[in-house]
Amino acid sequence: MRYGMNPHQSASVEGGPAVLNGEPSLINYLDALNAFALVREADEAGGLPAAASFKHVSPAGAALAGPVDEVAAETWRTSGVGEDTLISAYVRARDADPKSSFGDVVALSRPVDAETAEFLRTVICDAVIAPGYEEGTVGVLSGKKSGRFLVFEAGADWAPPARERREVLGTVIEQDRDAADLAAALPAGVLDGRHRRDALLGMATARYTQSNSVVLVRDGAAVGIGAGQQNRVDCVRLAGAKARVWWLRRHPFVRELPTVEGMRRQDRLNWQVRFAGAEMTRAQLVEFEGLFGAEAAGRYGDDGWRAEWAQRLDDVTLVSDGFLPFRDNVDHAAEFGVGTIVEPGGSTRSDEVAAAAAEHGIPLVTTGLRLFHH
């Protein structure tokens, strides 16, 4: 490998996906392997091409192929993309949290076609992993980053072993790989087809997200992922905040920010995220007004439009990798448009959690399956 976790750590690798271009580091391998496992499971569960945008061993976004809405099409310049295409899956995955997806590892469940390769050439990403590549696409991708772009090929028949082993500070730990059947764990007949698909995508995403984690899914795309928190309610609040910003980016005030000549796409996206989420520093607000004008700066300080638009977010499915321990998880979830909750169950306060869900009119589905990932 180019290096291990950090540049001052040397490292080597045995086995794994084929490296068709570039020199991976340890984190590149961790992202690529986890991301590909996620999209493969999501594809199997949903029956559609799947994609994930991975950063630091957790997904920033994950999605199945589907409709690319006007905002995403405008942002990523992908008008006319078909709903059943591989590129639609990745555009939907990357659009969930574009600030975090900057410099991501891209995972795709189907062989990379020419349209997808050309799109990847235009965005800031560090690597791609897929089960194969159509003729000419590796050449297109290999030219990125002055020839340093990483191209992994997992192979169509790739399958991880039944046991996995790691060594931590001289201690060797071995366990069964988490291969529990997600579809079997999700009770049949409880959710309709669309919500069951969203629940399965959320479960597959949670399985490869650093715990504790909560995933918010809407219409076949994970629009908010709260990863690696020490308590579950912070996972809910973090996932909800990300989903709300995703939704607020669809408000006309955000879409219609004046065009600034010479501003790069990612810079405009970052300003839209800051504006939508009301997360600017004082210095940034001064810069924002200089770039976009006094009217936009005035709207920034008005939370009324944000509150009104946020109330329109609905039909979100929440998936938790562990049980919800207190009702505050449900209360916060309701504020982010959650209409279905899927969790393992089994908390000593599960009755209180169920009662809270009933108060909010949110169906609560328990699977009995914990999906911790570290």
Q: Is 329 a catalytic residue?
A: no
How far is Cα 370 from Cα 268, in angstroms, rounded to an integer?
39
Among 55, 144, 242, 251, which one carries the catalytic annotation? 55
Among 56, 99, 145, 360, which one carries the catalytic annotation? 56
Q: Is 374 a catalytic residue?
A: yes
Residue 302: both structure tokens together? 């008005």
How far is Cα 59 from Cα 210, in angstroms, rounded to an integer?
9
Cis amide linkage into residue 329, ω under 30° from 0:
no
Among 195, 212, 329, 332, which one carries the catalytic annotation? 212
Helices (H), 52-97: 70-76, 86-96
Q: Write 288-291 long-range contacts (CB < 8 A, 24+).
A: 291/260, 291/263
What beta strand segments (E) does the chain contain?
Answer: 18-21, 50-55, 58-64, 104-108, 125-130, 150-153, 163-168, 171-176, 213-218, 221-227, 316-320, 338-343, 364-366
Q: At a CB cut-off of 8 Å and minimum separation 6, what does 339 contact?
A: 314, 315, 316, 317, 362, 363
Angle between helices 282-292 and 265-277 (to 10 degrees): 120
Q: Is 332 a catalytic residue?
A: no
Query: In this structure, which amino acid lies at residue 122?
Result: T
**Nearest one of 251, 256, 212 to 372, comparing CA atoms:** 212
Is 43 within 8 Å of 49 (Cβ atoms)?
yes
Q: Write 160-168 long-range contacts (CB < 8 A, 24+).
A: 160/37
Is 88 within 8 Å of 115 (Cβ atoms)?
no
How far is Cα 64 from Cα 145, in angstroms, rounded to an integer?
27
Rg for the chain, CA atoms, rounded = 21
Q: Is 56 a catalytic residue?
A: yes
Residue in this structure with the two tokens 């799947």, named with its chain if needed: 50
Angle between helices 265-277 and 232-248 (to 10 degrees): 120
Residues identified as active-site: 55-56, 212, 374
